[in-house]
Structure 1
């Protein structure tokens, strides 16, 4: 018997919502802009650890795509 957990969607900050424009995933440059850091910082951290700020991207073709929900949780101080 499985228990269904109640997953709450975090409130997406307005600036992140403007960048995401309704998408579930954003590209690295947009993630860097949302986190106020350089693209190379994101790429270096991903190269060294497979994640950046505790968020693991998915790879789509040659792009790394970052979850808007995970970014919103990070920006809101949630785990």
Structure 2
């Protein structure tokens, strides 16, 4: 079982989160993450699934650890 110590409140084995959840975790507005995706200029990239943007928990944790 994976431990998301940097991101409290996630269920075990959660690998991706929605744009709203990722924005909350990173203390950013959802629109900021959408811009990162659309213009490919953010520090992380989302995964597209059925037209939705999903953000990898591992990428979010790495970004939080990095302090960006």
TM-score of the pair, normalised by structure 2: 0.78
- Select the structure of larger CA radius of gyration: 1
User: When the two structures are aligned, how many residues end up with a matched partner?
Assistant: 65
The answer on 1:69 being equivalent to 2:25 is: no
CA-based RMSD: 2.3
Q: Which runs of 4+ in 1 moved over 3 A?
A: none
Q: Structure 1 stretches of 5 or more lacking a match?
A: 1-8
| 1:50-74 C-alpha deviation (Å, 9 max, x unpaired) | x53x211111112111110111111
Counterpart contact for 1:28–1:39, Cα < 8 Å: yes
Unaligned runs of 5+ in 2: none
